[in-house]
Chains A and B, each alone.
Chain A
């Protein structure tokens, strides 16, 4: 077991990389390197890392390797920094700098900024409807640090699936992504995010969504595996009339440990957020959900709902739900609820009285529990695929 000092110094390894890139990208890296060197390595003294053990995680070892073999299918609409027009550069640089500052205390976001394998920009037109956009990111290296920037222009409507694939390998691999999504006025976004990791993956993710006036987003998140890790979803409702629905489902089994932290910041009044997250845990797995709702004093007429339900199939499994409501405004409607429990006996009895055998009845209840989330995402074939994978993990 490696015991890390409070701070890790990444300077040497960063120099070895000998980055030769456009000035903006280089400076972006350099700034995050400096931030990173001042940030304490995630440890149990920090609120966000109280539950995740990183004692056997060695970032310097992973970063010393070559990591460039990232395959994205298809590459339609994707650009690298060098492909951007001058106008695009100006906008995207602004987006990146804003995100870098917003996530300045987030260790793994800064790690991605400093050492990212590549910056990918999804360039989409204004007032255009994009249906069934699929970005499938196939990670081939032991270390993977992509950054995606998605800029949804005014009056656009986008339906995007972002799927990360990292198969199980003999060695433990490392995945650390950052997605920055910006929605301009009156745009709509439906994003399905899938983490399809093998059981040998240390995985960390930061997803930052910023919404302007009269925007609507439906973001669904599915974790289908991994060894250990944490996903941070940040949503900033930064324009009046903006609304987000955030959905998620996880199933954890074996000795897996998953941790998700979701923050909704109502930085403007007249905004609405609805959050619904379901987890099923079995074996000796451990799942942690943290839902942070922030409404500053200046944001009035806000509606915010947060529900987290956890279903435990075995007494040896653990799920934790931590709602954190920081509400300082007066004129708001907020509700939150969290449940943790085993399969409901009355539901079981009802199904048994209809002749359904016990095992099948239990499976039907679990399937229904996950379907409450899955039924709300629009790609039907994807819905079924995710359902199968989530259920397979539970031996259902």
Chain B
């Protein structure tokens, strides 16, 4: 199906501070790529910029989704094209229940109203596989959720929306080993030949469960090294400073 995401020589700043300094990345259909790197190296900035966060300024470069530039599109249009971001810190929206939220986002995605009955049925199955209690649907979105609940909720949305490109920003943080396994199984179920996953993480442990096709190392706002899945193991042993040298 070709390339899903192409980031071309991307420079981004927030205020006067330059964060991304020439990122190049190509993510073919059906592949999972992992981006690893230290805190503050620009990994989350890249994910936010792909979705069009208004707080960042792109000074040069381009982002192509299925061969077309998306820089001119607002975040909601990018999402409706099939780009999904699982947030590192999903924001709480008190007063909006998970069920109503899911119904609203499905309506936006599909373009038509989903019946309560159909959604309940679909949710029941997805929640069971992710080990989520059914009462979860009646809680306010991310409000008072534990770290693990927030991450499961993100993967629940991904499972329902079935995006073409899923960017998972440190989905493993805040998860215990059991929860990590369940969440990773959820991610693996979403691997399809016509879609891709960009997985951002600090640690190799997640990559034991979601095995990437490629690993990229982010240092100081750009990709400093790329390799196969074995690169993650090497990083675990040698640290990031080794790449910088």
Of A353, A370, A371, the most chain B CB neighbours within 10 A belong to: A353
Flag if B105 contacts A352 (CB, 8 Å). no
In the docked arrangement, what's the CA distance between A367 and B84, Å? Answer: 24
In the complex, which residues 152-190 of chain B have their Cβ closer than 8 Å to any Cβ of chain A? Answer: 157, 161
In the docked arrangement, what's the CA distance between A354 and B52, Å? Answer: 12
In the docked arrangement, what's the CA distance between A296 and B61, Å? Answer: 66
User: What are the residues of chain A within 8 A of B105 when measuring CB–CB?
Assistant: 354-356
User: What are the residues of chain B within 8 A of A329 when measuring CB–CB?
Assistant: none
Flag if A357 contacts B91 (CB, 8 Å). no
Tell me whether A350 is interfacial, beta carbon within 8 Å. Answer: yes
User: What are the residues of chain B within 8 A of A358 when measuring CB–CB?
Assistant: 74, 76
With contact pairs A355-B79, A358-B74, A371-B96 given, residues A345 and B54 touching in the complex (Cβ less than 8 Å):
yes
Flag if A353 contacts B51 (CB, 8 Å). yes
In the complex, which residues 69-112 of chain B have their Cβ closer than 8 Å to any Cβ of chain A? Answer: 74-76, 78-80, 84-85, 87, 90-91, 93-96, 101, 104-105, 108-109
With contact pairs A352-B74, A354-B79, A360-B104 given, residues A375 and B95 touching in the complex (Cβ less than 8 Å):
yes
In the complex, which residues 102-131 of chain A have their Cβ closer than 8 Å to any Cβ of chain B? Answer: none
In the complex, which residues 358-395 of chain A have their Cβ closer than 8 Å to any Cβ of chain B? Answer: 358, 360-361, 364-365, 367-372, 375
User: What are the residues of chain A within 8 A of B93 when measuring CB–CB?
Assistant: 347, 350-351, 364-365, 368
User: What are the residues of chain B within 8 A of A346 when measuring CB–CB?
Assistant: 91
User: What are the residues of chain B within 8 A of A328 when measuring CB–CB?
Assistant: none
With contact pairs A352-B75, A352-B76, A353-B85 given, residues A367 and B90 touching in the complex (Cβ less than 8 Å):
no
Chain A contact patch, size range: 20 to 34
In the docked arrangement, what's the CA distance between A150 and B116, Å? Answer: 41
**Closest B residue to A369 using CB positions:** B95
User: What are the residues of chain B within 8 A of A375 when measuring CB–CB?
Assistant: 95
Tell me whether B53 is interfacial, beta carbon within 8 Å. Answer: yes
In the docked arrangement, what's the CA distance between A130 and B52, Å? Answer: 54
Minimum C-beta distance from A357 to chain B (A): 5
Minimum C-beta distance from B81 to chain A (A): 9
User: What are the residues of chain A within 8 A of B140 when measuring CB–CB?
Assistant: 368, 372
User: What are the residues of chain B within 8 A of A356 when measuring CB–CB?
Assistant: 76, 104-105, 108
Minimum C-beta distance from B166 to chain A (A): 12
In the complex, which residues 333-354 of chain A have their Cβ closer than 8 Å to any Cβ of chain B? Answer: 344-347, 349-354
Chain B contact patch, size range: 20 to 34
User: What are the residues of chain B within 8 A of A361 when measuring CB–CB?
Assistant: 76
User: What are the residues of chain B within 8 A of A367 when measuring CB–CB?
Assistant: 95-96
Minimum C-beta distance from A140 to chain B (A): 36
With contact pairs A352-B75, A353-B75 given, residues A372 and B109 touching in the complex (Cβ less than 8 Å):
no
User: What are the residues of chain A within 8 A of B95 when measuring CB–CB?
Assistant: 367-372, 375
In the docked arrangement, what's the CA distance between A199 and B96, Å? Answer: 30
User: What are the residues of chain B within 8 A of A352 when measuring CB–CB?
Assistant: 51-52, 74-76, 79
User: What are the residues of chain A within 8 A of B78 when measuring CB–CB?
Assistant: 353
Flag if B108 contacts A355 (CB, 8 Å). yes
In the docked arrangement, what's the CA distance between A368 and B101, Å? Answer: 10
**Closest B residue to A350 using CB positions:** B91
Of B55, B93, B101, B141, the most chain A CB neighbours within 10 A belong to: B93
In the docked arrangement, what's the CA distance between A344 and B51, Å? Answer: 18
**Closest A residue to B157 using CB positions:** A354
Flag if B87 contacts A354 (CB, 8 Å). no
**Closest B residue to A373 using CB positions:** B95
**Closest B residue to A278 using CB positions:** B95
In the docked arrangement, what's the CA distance between A268 and B157, Å? Answer: 50
Flag if B96 contacts A354 (CB, 8 Å). no
User: What are the residues of chain A within 8 A of B75 when measuring CB–CB?
Assistant: 349, 352-353
In the docked arrangement, what's the CA distance between A355 and B78, Å? Answer: 7
In the docked arrangement, what's the CA distance between A367 and B95, Å? Answer: 7
**Closest B residue to A372 using CB positions:** B95
Minimum C-beta distance from B91 to chain A (A): 5
Flag if A360 contacts B94 (CB, 8 Å). no
In the docked arrangement, what's the CA distance between A350 and B55, Å? Answer: 13
Minimum C-beta distance from B102 to chain A (A): 9
**Closest A residue to B109 using CB positions:** A355
**Closest A residue to B87 using CB positions:** A350
User: What are the residues of chain A within 8 A of B161 when measuring CB–CB?
Assistant: 354-355
Flag if A369 contacts B79 (CB, 8 Å). no
Flag if B96 contacts A364 (CB, 8 Å). yes
What are 28 inter-chain pairs, A to B, with CB distance below 8 A?
A347-B93, A349-B53, A349-B91, A351-B93, A352-B52, A352-B76, A352-B79, A353-B76, A353-B78, A353-B79, A353-B84, A353-B85, A353-B87, A354-B79, A354-B101, A354-B108, A354-B157, A355-B79, A355-B105, A357-B76, A358-B74, A364-B93, A364-B101, A367-B95, A367-B96, A368-B93, A369-B94, A370-B95
- Chain B interface residues (CB < 8 Å from chain A): 51-55, 74-76, 78-80, 84-85, 87, 90-91, 93-96, 101, 104-105, 108-109, 140-141, 157, 161
Given A346-B91, A349-B75, A354-B79, list of 14 further CB < 8 A pairs? Answer: A344-B91, A349-B91, A350-B90, A351-B93, A352-B79, A353-B78, A354-B76, A354-B108, A354-B157, A356-B108, A358-B74, A364-B96, A369-B94, A375-B95
* Interface pairs A-B: 5 shortest CB-CB: A368-B95, A371-B95, A352-B75, A355-B79, A368-B96
